[in-house]
Chains A and B, each alone.
Chain A
Amino acid sequence: MIGSAFIWLLLIAAGILILMKQWPLWTLFILGAAGVLEVLAVVVILPAMRWKRWRYEVREQEIELQRGVFIVRRTLIPMIRVQHVDTEQGPLLRKYGLGAIKVSTAATVHDIPAVEIEEAEEMRKVISALARVAEEDV
């Protein structure tokens, strides 16, 4: 988000510079093409890549998440640290029969953004059954 806004700021600044200095018109076209490419990347390509790389695994002892295209994050959440699990469904997710899972520990919240809703519900049950918070650890 911030990166995208930054790129647009740069593009706009460059556009203003071109207009002020009255540089040839084709530079503006290049700028426009860059803008279109940016939108394409942010709206179409990147989300698709992100989705392709998203992995989660719920095991008896822990939950493991892996995600990211340029920045790969791998997270480990032991079951005994899980405090509660929520599923969420906004209007858009509901339309496609999806749901989001939020796994909360005493210090962090981890999102799994779009899972089939049945699977999400199932996973919530499994996680809350497996999660036994060790009281002394908080």
Chain B
Amino acid sequence: MSDPQKLHPIAALLTFLKELKNLVFPVVFLVLMGKGQKNGFWDYLPLAGAGVMVLFVLIAGVVKWLRFTYRLEEGELKIEYGLFIKKKRYIPIERIQSLHISEGLLHRAFGLVKVSVETAGGAESESEAELTAIKKAEAQVLQQFIKQEKKRKSESAVNSHADEAEEADHEDSIFYRSRLSELLLMAATSGGIGVVLSAVFAFLSQFQDVIPYEKIFKEASHFIEMGVAVIAFIVFLALLIAWGVSIGLTLLRYAGFTLRKGKENLMIQKGLLEKQQLTIPVDRVQGITISENPLRQILGYCSVHLESAGSRGEEEDSASMMIMPMVKKERALNMLAELFPDYCFSAELTPLPARAASRYIGRACLYVLLPIGAAVWFFWPFGLGFLAAFMLAALYGFVRFKGAGWRIDGRQLTIRARKVSLQTSFVLKNRIQSLEVIQTWRQKQKDLASVHAAIRSGIGGKRIKVANVSFNDAGEIYRWYELKKEEDYDPGDRDGYCRD
């Protein structure tokens, strides 16, 4: 492995396609500009420009492939690339946390995989520590080599039970595999609330005979019948199609979702067309979040995410990793307790004080004040009907208030809050990087405060928030965080600790 290795030629094509994707808008813009009559050189310029851009990206892809080499040498993964400026990235193997392996359609056609190297912490190391396309066998060799190298290092450091660890690592059995029915349910309930609402709307419009709409809106009746009915139908249809597509996409992405549990790692495999394999070291987990969107909450299902330090996560913009896409909540809690024995997944939280309800309701009403005001103004006097939307807003605020809560168990903080989904986050004290208690002057009048706990997530941070707990409770969380040892924390008359 110490000779410089090249990527598979397909890598050039993949780089080209990836860069082309970023160029779609400028190229389309230029092509559109270049349409119409051509009377000379200048009229061809936009088209030529588009052509040059595409050509440039193509050449860049090929050059990158030509110059890109990687090798394992002296306990480091050495990656070198670049034409004019030669870039070298040497990653010490003990700094490599895990290899993420994924394969797209093109990869699969040629038996290739993409390998992303996850390092600990490094904020500046992003996509470049990525082997765009190598043979599956090579990836396996790489994986084995890194494993052995790491083992050798740790053995020379501490001559301990490395064999034992090795054995255990092979034993990683499938911990959880999602069923097709669960995935279907997941796809159907993701963001499906709009569809349900419009379905209800369409359903209600069938009751024209029963409910005297015409009496309610005398003059506006024909407007209601014609315009709104047609628009509602079109919107409903569009949403339905979008929903269908999203179900299909979700199924493709999460098909065959399996979670394996090793001694030190969690391994996730998923995807039908584009297969992904993620490895999460358990000791890098910063926090665990159970989220239930309203529909799933009614059905008793939830999904579970992890916040992990240093890894990029499955989405570009978030560092969370889903470890259970759709599970019955009861089962999720049981599995979590088995996966993370350090945590306590108790459901009994300290609720917010009753005086906080008006803050949530008021806030929700404030959000809709402007749109409702505008609607009333434009559709005067029938627009007054829009005032009913305040009821919905108030209901939303109240539901948020009911959902929120907090709890401290030993060295663990649990915070629950809702925007749309109900999110329960579990963090250990030593994973909280800083804690903030915030009090606005309105909150001060009501003796309330908000608590923000910052944890590391990926290469950045994430705040876990709960708004409008009583000021005393906020102080209690603050003091709990301040104290060096959790034994000093007196849980008062709260029910006992989690571990029984």
Contact = CB atoms under 8 A, between A and B. Distances in A.
B439 A75 contact: no
A81 interface: yes
Interface string B444-467: 100000000011110011100000
A138 B460 CA distance: 11
Interface string A104-124: 011110100000000000000
A81 B434 contact: yes
Contacts of B438: 68, 71-74
A30 interface: no
B482 A105 contact: no
Nearest to A104: B433
B456 A71 contact: no
Contacts of B440: 70-72
Nearest to B428: A137
Interface in B131-164: none
A50 to B, nearest CB: 14
A89 B18 CA distance: 41
B309 A75 contact: no
A79 to B, nearest CB: 11
B462 A107 contact: yes
A107 B436 contact: no
B469 to A, nearest CB: 14
Contact of B478 (A70, A72, A74, A81): A74
B441 interface: yes
B433 A105 contact: yes
Contacts of A137: 430-431
A76 B434 contact: yes
A134 interface: yes
A33 to B, nearest CB: 25
Contacts of A73: 436-438
Interface in A38-54: none
A75 B433 CA distance: 11
A106 B478 contact: no
Contacts of B343: none
A74 B436 contact: yes
Interface residues of A, number: 22
A107 B437 contact: no
A134 B436 CA distance: 21
B430 A134 contact: yes
A15 to B, nearest CB: 20
Nearest to A61: B484
A70 B441 contact: yes
A57 interface: no
A61 B454 CA distance: 18
B121 interface: yes
B66 interface: no
B401 interface: no
A81 B433 contact: yes
A110 B434 contact: yes
Contact of A107 (B283, B441, B454, B478): B454
Contact of B457 (A70, A72, A77, A107): A107
Contacts of B439: 71-72, 74
B10 interface: no
A88 interface: no
A3 to B, nearest CB: 13
A81 to B, nearest CB: 5
Given A76-B434, A77-B434, A106 B283 contact: no
A78 B430 CA distance: 10
A72 B310 CA distance: 32
B481 interface: yes
Contacts of A107: 433-434, 454-457, 460-462
Nearest to A108: B454
A138 B461 contact: no
Contacts of A78: 434, 481
Contacts of A72: 438-440, 444
A39 B249 CA distance: 52
Contact of A74 (B121, B310, B437, B441): B437
B443 to A, nearest CB: 9
B425 to A, nearest CB: 14
B28 to A, nearest CB: 34
Interface string B105-117: 0000000000000
Nearest to B479: A76
Contacts of B60: none
Interface string B6-33: 0000000000000000000000000000
Nearest to A73: B438
A72 B440 CA distance: 6
A105 B434 contact: yes
Given A76-B435, A76-B436, A137-B430, 14 more contacts: A68-B438, A71-B439, A71-B440, A72-B440, A73-B436, A74-B437, A75-B435, A76-B478, A81-B433, A106-B309, A107-B462, A108-B433, A108-B434, A110-B434
The 5 A-B pairs at the shortest CB distance, nearest first, are namely A107-B461, A105-B433, A107-B433, A106-B456, A107-B456
22 contacts: A70-B440, A71-B441, A72-B438, A73-B437, A74-B438, A75-B435, A76-B435, A76-B478, A78-B434, A81-B432, A81-B433, A105-B454, A106-B121, A107-B455, A108-B433, A108-B434, A108-B461, A134-B430, A136-B283, A137-B431, A138-B121, A138-B456
